[in-house]
Amino acid sequence: MKWYERHVDAGLTRWSLGELSAPESSRLLRHAHACSRCGSRYNKWARAHRVFESGQTDTPTTMELETLTVAGLEAALGAAAPPDAAHSRWPTLAVLGATLAALFAVVVVPTVRPTPTEPEWSPRGVVHDPAPPAVPLAQPVLRIFCAAPGQSLREVRTGTACAPGATLAFAAGARPPYTHVAVRVRAGGREEVNGPFALSGSAGEEGPLELTVALPATSDMAEVTAAFSEHPDATLAALRGGTTEGVVVLRQEVRVEEGP
């Protein structure tokens, strides 16, 4: 079923031949659930094939069983992800603008290979690297969001401000081996270290962190620092001034004042 096939009808013939791929099967079923006319048509189609193949309306055909099995795997694995990695909670994050990676000052300790240069027009999160693929690549991303009363959630980029008394929220993603992140926020003379949080998404697939931090009620400059590592303890150690071997640290300052 191509993307431009608007209704189930076009996919049903290929469905009954077992020729739909897993994504196509999922798409067909999702559409059938959402479109009452198509859902009814799917039910009739399936029942007719059941009777044709087994003589029973309640016995699924082998093709139907295969299709349903293939189509349900993705959803089942998605449910297994830990709650803090569930992208559906903040679906808009996945489609928000460009990554903050380029906006961050990236501090990579000498023992970590520098992030490879990406060619122009490459999709976000895709790393073009001549090195052997066995070598893990670093491209962690931390995105900061400002939640102010009476305003919609917006991403905080370099040079933009978040209002006093507002709340910061975060999303992060990284490629293996960076599986954990810890976040430190300094503002109003206070320092708060949170985490480590487990990461499951890669760059370009950042997931929300179970973390919000209230900003001071007066104008200030907040500093957000995130440490990524494959070892949860190492992320905290790096933020507390300990060893930084194998840790990638990202830092961004956020102006705490009224206005954009």
Partner 1 sequence: MLPGNERSVLEAFRRGDTPVLTQVYRTYSPEVLRYLSRRFSVHSEGGARSVALTPLDLDAAHQETFVRAFRPHMRQAYDGVRPYLGFLLTVARSTAIDLMRASGRVAREAVPLEDAPELVHAPDDSRTPEEEALSSEIRALVRRFLDALPEEGRDLAQLRFMDGLSQEAAADQLKLTRGEVRVRERRLRLQFTEHLKDSGWLDSDAAPGRLELGLMLATLSLCAIPFGSLP
Sites of contact with partner 1 (CB under 8 A): 12-13, 16-17, 29, 32-33, 39-55, 57-60, 64-65, 68-69, 71-73, 75-83
Q: CA 247, CA 201: separation in Å to the nearest integer?
A: 18
Which C-beta is closer to partner 1: that of 84 or that of 220? 84
Cβ nearer to partner 1, comparing 53 with 129: 53
Q: Which is nearer to partner 1, 91 or 189 (CB)?
A: 91
Task: Give the Cα separation of 221 and 163 in Å (integer).
Answer: 11
Residue 227, SS3 per DSSP:
strand
Q: How far is the CB of 9 from partner 1 (least distance, A)?
A: 8
CB of 226 to partner 1, least distance (A): 24
CB of 18: closest distance to partner 1 in angstroms? 9
Residues of 20-33 as b/e, b for ≥16 C-beta within 10 angstroms? Answer: beeebbbbbbebbe
Least Å distance, CB 201 to partner 1, is 14
Residue with Cβ nearer partner 1 (10 or 193): 10
Count how many residues are written for the chain: 260
Asked if 114 and 248 count as a contact pair (C-beta separation under 8 A), the reply is: no
